[in-house]
């Protein structure tokens, strides 16, 4: 059979992938890893966030808010936080691994799925651990999971180095390939080795196991933070000449910006979706109730749930706009450093808590006493989620030459506007929090209406920033003509802008 | 302040985006829409799938499986299917819209978020509609949502045509821009107009509203199917000369392959994650129970849940491997046509049903009578999910010149292997279904072990295909030397391979 002519379609809108080299590879069963990585990102971000559902499903009626409920709630929040933390650590390790392994084939894709399966099992081990802290089975299972993940990742490394065309080209053609392999295996197996010891101790002296587990989870963060502090204090050290290329894969390489974005998108998307799930499960009135209580009037029955819908739209607007701020921020970021990645994780952990805020403000909408409380919790969650976004921006400004696009740097055209955008949510939530302290009664309804009104603030923001900058530009135009995008006097003005809103 | 020097980092692994033109655009607040589209894909795929959760949360104890529970279950399944259908229609419309609008700015990003918010509210209107079919409020709210979505999309179109640099370059520079706008507005507002009429009728004669609603949902599919049939019967018509460019945006353009992949990834990821959620919520034993029933032995308490864990790993393996097959398939696809998109949607709808299958097989694991039933349901769901994937492949082969990479076409090197990969799941599930009919007792445990064993079948598959093809290649090598990638005799052999497994 002869090769059929491939007719060019009249108008292809969105880019087909370049077929040339890709097809060559596909013929050997070798694939670019892009789609597998997005799938892994989606899976990991969802698993990190979805553990907030058991927290929001905890039924609390205000009368019987006793010890056992408090304990259950605390347990579930602890599971959520631990899951979020460990999944982000696993995600970072996954990112690093697949920066080394540039292409995949079927075996690697299947190994990756095995790795994902083990990671999705981690939340269960946490549930066990937190429910039965004195029984060492939970920690034993956790350690087994980590060892399994490490084993699969080590297999991936060995396999990829056995078929070097799967590696990133720079390593494939490096003379030190053997050294690389040693080094990467070391990184991949460090955690599992600690967990192996912990699993051993869990059988006769489990408190030590908890200590070792904490080391595994926090070590990456602690080592990063300490090396950062050291770098600040001593100044950047010159690494030994032969190992420059070598250690680039460990601590100093930037995170893949694309994957940070994909992971964040997943978290925001699942949080936005969990909200409607609650609405659909709980807020459809029972047909018996409608007949008996409301004389068959569905509208009357639904108006009971009015505050829930307001809370839903308010929360969705907040999640959407936090995503929007994140999106604008990363649009101006060239490269994400490790510390920015860490701040992003913290911000996302609070975004994941938003369904809890929604639950709080909608469940307690009737009780005026606890209404203030729940509005405060919501404000706090939103404040922390947005302030960590702001911190990403501040950190990026520290090394703006490397990390930011020119237009967003000090004096760039978008600088002041970005500042205002990112400062909007911290300011609004702080204001709302403050008003709950001064006013004796701050209605949840007002809070949600504020949430819904914020998008318009975003739309007005550009206008306001332009207006505020106009006189400065005019002054500047008088003194030195035609220097549009480098007006350094704007900097001092920029921090004042958010309060103009 | 002078522009700081941007030091080149020693080794950047994964591609930073090309900064040149992008930064120019970012400075004007204009952005490539890539990330917003992935976020929308993630959101829509999750919302389409997550409505299966209320279905699996329906508590059915085998004793009291009475009418009211059956009705509740049927209601929730109906909500799931309707949501899935309407969200995929909305997603397709969104895809088409943002094939026309190539870039976004802040206003468009916010409008898109508003559109997403309205879409996430649709499941609630379905819940109302299905719970109170005789009250017209549900359909009225549904129509309002569709009208709101249409209004937002029309705003997007008007805004983008007002700032033509946001449009796809081909339209931006077209002479018929006005005509395009008319046409696209027509497409966007067609559904909402119908819904407006339906909303009117819902106030005094609601059955007609349901009819109109069904038209809105099914019209795209019906019109596609009928035009396809017509095309088959009459042969492709020559469109009038001046409108070739014009109608390309409506019916004949291919779907964006990237977005089809992103949407599918989202569905697979959320399905894989919903499984562990059930495990964590339901399978952590109560500490009182452990003390009283199991004399404090956590291991004994957990072994009660043994079948659940087996079911979890089996289901995860199935979801993962269906994703893997999908991934392999789309690796060889160059361009996704509308009919392939439709088949993909159908496949995904069944994938979304997998948590139900998991629930069935794990909940009824103890009752041998219903065990067979539930294994059958699972087999049916898996069979349909995989057979529609196979149908995508068959459809692609019909126009292989346009739709497939050369290596996957008839006679290509990967052709036989792809065939075997995609036929594996239909065959295995059919076999399992058949064995439930012949055997009086087919244990759910065996079923789950089969599920876990399938990955190894995938690994062996390549070997088996190679072995089966080797004698043919040898024969071929004797008759005509050196024709590696175009062995046309392989074709006849390929369909036989799956049964070799």
pLDDT at res. B347: 92
The number of CA neighbours under 13 Å toward the Cβ of A194 is 18
Distance from CA of B448 to the nearest CA of A (A): 15
pLDDT mean over B433-445: 77
Asked if B463 is an interface residue toward chain A (Cβ–Cβ < 8 A), one would say no
The alpha carbon of B261 is separated from its chain's Cα centroid by a whole number of angstroms, namely 8
Kindly indicate the confidence band of residue B293, based on its pLDDT and cuts at 50, 70 and 90: confident
Q: Report the alpha-carbon angle A329-A333-A336, nearest 5.
A: 110
pLDDT band at A254 (very low <50, low <70, confident <90, very high): low
**pLDDT value, residue A152:** 92
Distance CA(B421)–CA(B390), nearest Å, equals 9
Do B112 and B40 meet the contact criterion of CB atoms below 8 Å apart?
Answer: yes
Closest CA–CA distance from residue B273 to any residue of chain A (Å): 6
Distance of alpha carbon B369 from alpha carbon B380, whole angstroms: 18
Q: Give Cβ neighbours of residue A391 (< 8 Å, ≥ 6 apart).
A: A343, A347
Q: Which of residues 260-289 of B touch A (CB under 8 A)?
A: 261-262, 265-266, 268-270, 272-277, 279-281, 283-285, 287
Report the interhelical angle of B415-438 vs B306-331 (nearest 10°).
Answer: 150
Structure tokens at A394: 């501040």
Let me know: does B402 contact B339? Beta carbons within 8 Å.
no
CB B475 within 8 A of CB B492: no
Other Cβ atoms less than 10 A from the Cβ of B393: the count is: 23
**CA–CA gap between residue A94 and residue A12 (Å, rounded):** 35
Q: Within a 13 Å sphere around the CA of B331, how many CA atoms are in the beta-carbon half?
A: 31
Q: How confident is the model at residue B29 (pLDDT cuts 50, 70, 90)?
A: low
Can you give the three-state secondary structure of B22-73, one letter per residue? HHHHHHCCCEECHHHHHHHHHHHHHHHHHCHHHHHHCCCCHHHCCHHHHHHH
Q: Tell me what the mean pLDDT of segment B330-347 comes to.
A: 85
Q: What is the pLDDT of residues B89-111, one digit of tens each?
A: 888 888 888 888 888 888 888 88
For chain B, the distance separating the N- and C-terminal CA atoms, rounded to the nearest angstrom, is 70
* CB of A409 closer than 8 Å to CB of A415: yes
Residue B324 with chain A: CB contacts under 8 Å: 106, 109-110, 113
Q: Which residues make beta-bridge pairs with A268?
A: none
> Which residues share a beta bridge with A31?
A104
The overall average pLDDT reported for chain B is 76
Nearest to B60 by CA among B49, B68, B50: B68
Residue from the list A124, A331, A408 with its beta carbon closest to the beta carbon of B31: A331
Angle at A330 between CA A325 and CA A335, to 5 degrees: 155
pLDDT of residue B253: 56
Residues of chain A contacting B134 with CB distance shorter than 8 Å: none
- CB–CB of A321 and B16 under 8 A? no
B104, β-bridge pairs: B31
Share of chain B above pLDDT 90, in %: 5
* Residue B476 predicted with pLDDT over 60: yes
Chain B interface includes A6 (CB < 8 A): yes
Q: Cβ(A16)–Cβ(B335) under 8 Å?
A: yes
Asked if B325 and B21 touch (Cβ cutoff 8 Å), the reply is no
Contact across the interface for A272 and B491, Cβ inside 8 Å: no
Over chain A, what is the mean pLDDT?
76
Nearest to B253 by CA among B184, B190, B194: B184
Residue pair B280/A120 in contact (Cβ under 8 Å)? The answer is: no
Mind listing the pLDDT tens digit for each residue in A428-484? 888 888 888 877 666 777 788 888 888 888 878 878 887 877 787 777 776 655 444
Tell me what pLDDT residue A459 has.
79
pTM for the complete prediction?
A: 0.81
For residue A20, the cross-strand partners are none
Which candidate, A62, A127, A66, A84, places its Cα nearest to that of A360? A62
Q: Which of residues 42-71 of B touch A (CB under 8 A)?
A: 42-43, 46-47, 50-51, 53-54, 57
Beta carbons within 10 angstroms of residue A453's beta carbon: 12
Contact between A38 and B79 using a beta-carbon 8 Å cutoff: no
> Hey, is the C-beta of A172 within 8 angstroms of any chain B C-beta?
no
> Which of A59-73, B433-447, B467-481 has the highest mean predicted lDDT (pLDDT)?
B433-447
- Asked if the model's pLDDT at residue B47 lies above 60, the reply is yes
d(CA A225, CA A342): 10
Minimum Cα–Cα distance from A40: chain B residue: B269
Total CB pairs under 8 A between chain A and B: 327
Task: Please answer yes or no on whether B332 and A26 come within 8 Å at the CB atom.
Answer: yes
Which residues make Cβ contacts (< 8 Å) with residue A364, sequence separation at least 6? A62, A370, A371, A373, A374, A444
Tell me what pLDDT residue B487 has: 40
Q: Which range has highest mean pLDDT (A98-102, A204-208, B147-151)?
A: B147-151
Contact A4 B29 (CB under 8 A): no
d(CA A214, CA B106): 42
CA–CA separation, B458 vs A108, rounded Å?
12
Q: Are B196 and B148 in contact (CB under 8 A)?
A: no
Mean pLDDT score, A388-414 = 81
Across A106-120, A322-336, A356-370, B202-216, least confident range? A356-370
Give the C-alpha separation, B141 to B149, whole Å.
Answer: 12
Q: Cβ contacts (< 8 Å) between B38 and chain A: which residues?
A: 38, 262, 265
Average pLDDT over residues A120-144: 83
* Residue among B6, B54, B249 minimizing CB distance to A402: B6
Nearest residue in A to B41, CA atom: A269
Whether pLDDT at B147 is above 50:
yes
Higher pLDDT, A132 or B496: A132
Candidate from A107-111, A256-260, B285-289, B377-381 with smallest mean pLDDT: B285-289
Dist CA B97 CA B101 (whole Å): 6
Q: Which of residues 284-313 of B touch A (CB under 8 A)?
A: 284-285, 287, 290, 298-299, 302, 312-313
* Mean pLDDT value of segment B11-27: 39
More confidently predicted of A291 and B184? B184
Is the distance from CB of B115 to CB of B149 less than 8 angstroms? yes
The pLDDT value given to residue B13:
33
**Mean pLDDT, rounded, for B228-248:** 54
Q: Nearest-5° angle of CA A98, CA A99, CA A102?
A: 70
* pLDDT (tens digit per residue) in B207-216: 788 888 888 7
Picking from A41, A12, A423, the residue whose alpha carbon sits closest to that of residue B273 is A41
Beta-bridged to residue A325, according to DSSP, are none
Q: Do B31 and A121 touch (CB under 8 A)?
A: no
A251-255, A312-316, B51-55: segment of lowest average pLDDT: A251-255
Determine the Cα–Cα distance for residues B257 and A179; give it in Å rounded to an integer. Answer: 40
Name the percent of chain B lying above pLDDT 70: 79
Q: In this complex, do B4 and A253 lie within 8 Å of one another by their Cβ atoms? A: no
| For range A89-112, the mean pLDDT | 85
Q: In A, which residues are within 8 Å of B490 by CB distance? A: none
Q: Give the residue-averaged pLDDT of B493-498.
A: 36
Q: CB of A352 within 8 A of CB of A269? A: no
DSSP B353: T
Chain B positions in Cβ-Cβ contact with residue A106 (cut-off 8 Å):
324, 328, 458-459, 462
């Amino acid at each position: 059979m002869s090769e059929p002519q491939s007719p060019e379609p009249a108008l292809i809108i969105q880019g087909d992938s370049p077929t040339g080299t890709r097809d060559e590879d596909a013929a050997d069963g070798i694939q670019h890893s892009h789609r597998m990585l997005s799938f892994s990102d989606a899976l990991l971000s969802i698993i990190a966030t979805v553990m907030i559902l058991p927290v929001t499903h905890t039924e609390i009626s205000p009368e019987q808010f006793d010890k056992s409920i408090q304990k259950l709630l605390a347990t579930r929040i602890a599971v959520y936080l631990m899951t979020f933390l460990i999944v982000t650590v696993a995600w970072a390790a996954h990112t690093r691994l697949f920066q080394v392994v540039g292409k995949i084939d079927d075996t690697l894709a299947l190994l990756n799925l095995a790795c994902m399966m083990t990671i999705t099992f981690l939340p269960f081990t946490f549930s066990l651990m937190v429910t039965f802290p004195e029984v060492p089975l939970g920690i034993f299972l956790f350690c087994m999971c980590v060892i399994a993940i490490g084993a699969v990742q080590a297999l991936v490394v060995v396999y990829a180095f056995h078929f070097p065309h799967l590696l990133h080209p720079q390593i494939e053609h490096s003379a030190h390939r053997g050294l690389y392999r040693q080094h990467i295996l070391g990184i991949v197996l460090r955690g599992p080795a600690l967990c192996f010891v912990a699993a051993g101790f869990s059988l006769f002296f489990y408190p030590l196991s908890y200590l070792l587990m904490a080391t595994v989870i926090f070590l990456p963060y602690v080592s990063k933070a300490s090396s950062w502090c050291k770098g600040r204090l001593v100044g950047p050290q010159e690494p030994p000449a032969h190992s420059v290329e070598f250690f680039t894969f460990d601590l100093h390489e930037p995170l893949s910006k694309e994957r940070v974005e994909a992971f964040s998108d997943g978290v925001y998307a699942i949080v936005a979706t969990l909200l409607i799930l609650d609405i659909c499960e709980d807020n459809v009135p029972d047909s018996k109730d409608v007949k008996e209580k409301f004389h068959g009037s569905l509208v009357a029955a639904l108006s009971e749930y009015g505050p829930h819908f307001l809370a839903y739209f308010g929360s969705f607007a907040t999640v959407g706009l936090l995503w929007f701020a994140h999106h604008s921020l990363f649009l101006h970021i060239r490269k994400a450093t490790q510390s920015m990645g860490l701040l992003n994780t913290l911000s996302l952990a609070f975004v994941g808590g938003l369904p809890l805020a929604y639950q709080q403000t909608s469940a307690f909408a009737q009780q005026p006493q606890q209404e203030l409380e729940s509005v405060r919790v919501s404000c706090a969650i939103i404040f922390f989620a947005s302030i960590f976004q702001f911190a990403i921006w501040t950190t990026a400004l520290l090394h703006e030459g490397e990390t930011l696009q020119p237009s967003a740097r000090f004096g760039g055209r978008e600088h002041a506007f970005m500042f205002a955008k990112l400062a909007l949510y911290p300011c609004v939530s702080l204001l709302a929090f403050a008003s709950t302290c001064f006013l004796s009664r701050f209605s949840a309804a007002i809070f949600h209406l504020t949430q819904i009104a914020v998008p318009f603030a975003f739309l007005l923001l550009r206008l306001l920033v332009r207006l505020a900058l106009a006189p400065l530009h005019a002054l500047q135009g008088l003194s030195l003509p035609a220097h549009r995008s480098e007006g350094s006097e704007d900097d001092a003005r920029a921090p004042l802008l958010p309060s103009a809103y």
